Amino acid sequence: MQTKKNNVMVAPSILSADFGRMNEEVERMDKCGADVVHCDVMDGIFVPNITFGFKMIADIKKKTKLPLDVHLMIDCPERYVERFIDAGADWLTIHYEATDILIPTLEKIKKRGVKCGAVISPDTPVQVLRECFPICDIVLLMSVYPGFGGQKFIEKSLGRMSELKKLRVETGSGALLEVDGGITADNAEAIVRAGADVLVAGNTLFSAQDPAAVINGFHAL
């Protein structure tokens, strides 16, 4: 495992993994120095894609000691947060756009001893999170449109991350700022400089010839 040099955390997104070899893929990222495993749950309703559900989370949980960062891209996530917690989620993030009861759902997650987080898509104003920021352990900024892996980083996300960083200070929150979508070795430094604490990367890591070197490079930022 590579030595982590600072506070930047790296979260490989298993959306880009070989689903037929998921245990080996997760183990490979663990050995390469990953900090958490990012699991994108999609329902085909909130986003136009379907991935996996409770059983995949439970099966991965049995095979790794890394925290599972479960990102619910699903409609009305309040219906399922308890089941994802029971399946093994250590971090559980839900979309602002997907629910009318964001704060009560975050509070429900937190009461179960799981890190809770709010997510915003690229066209959602950052300021909508002001009220829930103090509750959150994580705030996740989508830097691509949710639903598919392999998209290009949306450049305006840098300014949005800076806004989130400022909002964190204004609200007195200690939330981690996470970025998901299009992160590469070329843009990671700018993303961290804008305020990101956690980098979610899919294709960049799973298709890399030496993912350990990429992770070590992110840790060194």
* Side-chain-facing half-sphere of 6: CA atoms under 13 Å: 10
- Strand ranges in the chain using DSSP code E only, listed in sequence order: 9-12, 37-42, 68-73, 91-95, 115-120, 138-142, 176-180, 198-201
Question: Which residue from 218, 120, 132, 136 is spatially nearest to 175, judged by alpha carbons?
Answer: 136
79 - beta bridge partners? none
SS3 50: strand
Chain position carrying tokens 């590469």:
184
Question: Which residue from 111, 119, 57 is spatially nearest to 83, judged by alpha carbons?
Answer: 57
Dihedral (C-alpha) 157, 129, 49, 67: value to the nearest 10 degrees?
90
The Cα 192–Cα 194 span in angstroms is 5
Task: State residue 21 phi and psi, 5-degree precision.
Answer: -130, 40
How is 73-93 classified by DSSP, letter by letter?
ESSSGGGTHHHHHHHT-SEEE
Chain position carrying tokens 């009560």:
104
Catalytic residues: 40, 180
